[in-house]
Amino acid sequence: MKAWRVRRPGPMNTRPLEYVTTEVPRPAPGELLVAVRACGVCRTDLHVAEGDLPVHRSGVIPGHEVVAEIVEVGPTAQGGEFAVGDRVGIAWLRYTCGRCKFCGSGNENLCQESRYTGWDADGGYAEFATVPAAYAHPLPDRYSDTELAPLLCAGIIGYRALLRADLPAGGRLGIYGFGGSAHLTAQVALARGAEVHVMTRGDMAKELALALGAASVQGAYDRPPVALDSAILFAPVGDLVLPALESLDRGGTLAVAGIHLSDIPPMNYQRHLFQERQLRSVASNTRADAREFLAFAGRHHLEVTTPQYPLGKADCALADLVEGRISGAAVLLV
């Protein structure tokens, strides 16, 4: 099969990925073998390729927003909810221990033994992949493969970030950065009656935010026209934490959605945290988050903006992501 591997992590202009021909993987006990139809291009893939995240698997195949068709059900995965020919989704979270205090309390995203697709195990920048059946996701109808792919991380992690932001009913939400995850999260918030204000760079992102119903759009470091009840930082830019906190009303919450963030400058307690403002991180997601979000997507059809690239152009897609040339969420077609 054809696949992309991370040859040597580094900036995209150093060509960290290589396009290879390799063996089709075999499903282990409890796993499914799938033929990849589409795979979303996530900023986390960029962090893996460029070395912002430590290497967990040498030569890993990135990609964790995978829409695929089951071609083989591995030993002991028989009798489950999936069968050969089913369309399924593969997301970021791939394994948790099921025994620790975090797994037992519904917080499996904090499991210290957790493993991730496209980081600890090979992912979807390939023609075939495997996934533990317990971590594969049934997918809602009425979406194409390309529309579904970004839902499997950009959508899911945005949904968890929205929960972490603790947005009150009918509240004012600020979104910092408006890429693949943000453009889906904004629609979820709007469908729930929120007023959304977007701070981002790039004309394409601003136009998309307005088209989706944002109440205001301004530059990444600009102050929104109203005090915010909650905010989510999607851009991996630590400098934005301070203006986002300053834009919060009393008692407001800022959730940082990324797995990687550049350093945050020193804070001033009075300006940034006093009056019970909160700063929260977001660590992956649980399978319950995924099920809730995908069920929501099934009830409320989301407009998914998906620039498309052939599998053989995955390096170009990531380079375009670096340069801010992507509006919405890019998808590889396999």
State the Cα torsion 91-97-101-107 to the nearest 10°. 10
CA 53 vs. chain centroid, Å, equals 15
**pLDDT (0 to 100) of residue 50:** 97
**Residue 218: which of 174, 258, 167 has the closest Cα?**
174
Q: What are phi and psi of 106, to 5 degrees?
A: 85, 10
Query: Tens digit of pLDDT for each residue in 49-89?
Result: 999 999 999 999 999 999 999 999 988 765 568 899 999 99
**pLDDT (0 to 100) of residue 65:** 98
Q: What is the pTM of this model?
A: 0.93
Structure tokens at 31: 């796993």
Structure tokens at 155: 């959508």
**pLDDT (0 to 100) of residue 74:** 85
**pLDDT (0 to 100) of residue 287:** 97
Give yes or no for residue 159 having a pLDDT over 80. yes
Q: What are phi and psi of 38, to 5 degrees?
A: -155, 150
**pLDDT (0 to 100) of residue 80:** 64
The band of 260, judged by pLDDT with boundaries at 50, 70 and 90, is very high
**pLDDT (0 to 100) of residue 75:** 83
Instruction: Enumerate residues 6+ apart whose C-beta is below 8 A from 213.
Output: 186, 187, 190, 196
Amino acid identity at 119: W
Alpha-helical segments (H) within 80-212: 101-104, 145-150, 156-164, 180-191, 203-212
**pLDDT (0 to 100) of residue 329:** 92
Q: What is the mean pLDDT of residues 129-150?
A: 96
Q: How far apart are CA 13 and CA 224, in angstroms?
A: 35
Query: Tens digit of pLDDT for each residue in 320-333?
Result: 999 989 988 999 99
DSSP state letters, 194-246: -EEEEE-SSHHHHHHHHHHT-SEEE-TTSPPSS-EEEEEE-SS-GGGHHHHHH
**pLDDT (0 to 100) of residue 210:** 97
**Percent with pLDDT over 70 in the chain:** 99
The overall average pLDDT reported for the chain is 96
**Residue 236: which of 46, 87, 3 has the closest Cα?**
46
Query: Tens digit of pLDDT for each residue in 228-242?
Result: 999 999 999 999 999
